Amino acid sequence: MIKSFSILSHLSQRVAFLVVICFVLCFVQFTLILQLISESPEIERFLSLSSNDNLSTILNCTKKLKCPNNITRFSIHIDENIQYPNLSYVRSPVFTTILDTIRNSSYYTNDSTSACIHIAPVDTIDRDRRSKNGYYTYFIEQRLNFFHEWSDPNKIHLIFNHYTGTWPLYRRTLDFTLPSRHILALTSLTTANYNCLSHVTFPLFHSDYPSNLTNKFSSTRTILLSFKGKSYEDVQHHRTFFRHLNNNHDIIIKYTDNTSSYDQHEYTELLRQSYFCLVPSGRRLYSYRFLEVLQYGCIPVITTNDNEFVILPFSEIINWSQSIIVYSNSPLSLLPYYLKKIGKQQRIQMQKECIDIWLKYFSSIPRIILTTLDILNDRFISSLPS
């Protein structure tokens, strides 16, 4: 009898504990609902870039750079290996296009002594030792030192990079010694590590970018939000939570981790039919899909695995606040609610902004490189008479 009473007492305590937990959860849910109802004007706080007041200060330098040796015009020179002129280099398609675009631009000078900045023709795009594309440059320090301008403290050097670090840490520092004066065109820049005098925000893209597919823009769309890509479950990535948003109706989430083949057509159809497209960080902060969703007029919804604020490509000259969404400071489960609050006309306007920005700045790799040079041109003081 005593034993039965003890069991009943124990069960009663567990029931009471469960009742308390249920009450707390209901209270939290009720509080969230009240917050959503009472703070609807605050939705933009979660769905825009304008909430980061420091961004404009970080991007807009009060100082201007000066070309060395009283050079009066912004110009760039591709350095030459005078010591070993017949030495050949393996270069990725992206870096090859970068050099070709610079050489054919109005900013290029064939005279090293009249150049404002220099670029060594050694491929620095991929600094991931485990990269599978075969374009990691070994013995890079020795190769760079073949160019006498590299060690000249008076020269300013432009360096392009997409990938730094390797599995599992993916550190964001380059694995070679930088010259004393340099400008880095980098992906994965944040408000914490961006320097307006020595950095240029740079997009991430494939070597075969952009996709040559027709009928890119569709004004009539049936899907509110979509995502197709890897979940990165092996590193407990925040992408894994996206599966809870899927309803197989107006929110479509598809993972490709365990598929042997990738259906590119299905991916592009999702971009064409969706108003909003999730653009989460990958193993690094940036993602290929950012430019891809812009290309198809889908409004990017940017999420990251931590609280770092990613600076978007070419934020120096592009006001992204009217065209994309950076979702932060709120649970992912509430994202569909916020998106549905954005009216159809506003969505269409944002889509138009996305397309216009893509056409003007990102429609080809040469266009991206020329935009980078334009940003640098504005950053240097010109001594030319007006």
Q: Does residue 307 sit in the same domain as residue 356? A: yes
Residue in 361, 366, 380, 367 with CA at minimum distance from that of residue 314: 361
Q: Does residue 229 sit in the same domain as residue 145? A: no
Give the mean pLDDT of the chain.
84
Q: Does residue 64 sit in the same domain as residue 165? A: yes
Residues 35, 41, 46, 50, CA torsion sign: negative
Which residues of 14-71 form beta strands (DSSP E)? none
pLDDT in tens, 3-29: 454 554 555 666 555 555 666 555 545
Token look-up 């070419």 returns 314
- Please list the alpha-helical segments (H only) found in the chain: 2-38, 43-46, 55-59, 93-103, 140-144, 264-273, 289-295, 335-340, 344-357, 365-379
Q: Does residue 144 sit in the same domain as residue 192? A: yes
Distance of CA 148 to the CA centre of its chain: 34
Q: Establish if 15 belongs to a structural domain.
A: no
Q: Does residue 214 sit in the same domain as residue 330? A: yes
Question: Where residue 355 falls among pLDDT bands split at 50, 70, 90?
Answer: very high
pLDDT reported for residue 6 = 53
Instruction: Supply 256's token pair.
Output: 């490709």
Comparing 231 with 306, the larger pLDDT belongs to 231
Comparing 344 with 213, the larger pLDDT belongs to 344
pLDDT reported for residue 359 = 95
pLDDT reported for residue 304 = 78
Q: Establish if 27 belongs to a structural domain.
A: no
Q: Does residue 333 sit in the same domain as residue 199? A: no
Low-confidence winner among 96-105, 205-214, 292-301, 344-353 (lowest mean pLDDT): 205-214
pLDDT reported for residue 372 = 98
Token look-up 């404009």 returns 56
- 164, 176 contact by CB (below 8 A): no
Q: Does residue 60 sit in the same domain as residue 201? A: yes
Comparing 46 with 194, the larger pLDDT belongs to 194
pLDDT reported for residue 37 = 43
Cis peptide bond N-terminal to 366, omega within 30: no
Question: Where residue 371 falls among pLDDT bands split at 50, 70, 90?
Answer: very high
Comparing 322 with 184, the larger pLDDT belongs to 184
Rounded to whole angstroms, how far apart are CA atoms 216 and 70?
47
Q: Does residue 351 sit in the same domain as residue 219? A: yes
Instruction: Supply 17's token pair.
Output: 């504990």
pLDDT in tens, 299-342: 999 987 667 788 999 999 999 988 999 887 778 899 999 999 99
pLDDT reported for residue 30 = 53
Q: Does residue 215 sit in the same domain as residue 355? A: yes
pLDDT reported for residue 27 = 56
Q: Does residue 197 sit in the same domain as residue 221? A: no
3-state secondary structure of 300: strand
The answer on pLDDT for 175 being more than 50 is: yes
The total of structural domains in the chain comes to 2
Q: Tell me the residue type at 222.
A: T
pLDDT reported for residue 51 = 47
Enclosing domain of residue 275: 210-362
Considering 38-47, 126-135, 208-217, 316-325, the range whose residues carry the highest mean pLDDT is 316-325
**126-127 and 223-229: which strand pairing?**
unpaired
Q: Does residue 273 sit in the same domain as residue 294? A: yes
**Across residues 95-106, what is the average pLDDT?**
97
For 217, phi then psi, to 5°, come to: -100, 130
Rounded to whole angstroms, how far apart are CA atoms 113 and 2?
98
Q: Does residue 183 sit in the same domain as residue 216? A: no
Gyration radius of the chain over CA positions: 25
User: Within 13 Å and on the Cβ side, how many CA atoms surround 201?
Assistant: 24
For position 355, which CATH number holds?
A: 3.40.50.2000
**Across residues 72-98, what is the average pLDDT?**
90
pLDDT reported for residue 17 = 57
Q: Establish if 18 belongs to a structural domain.
A: no
pLDDT in tens, 54-64: 677 788 777 88
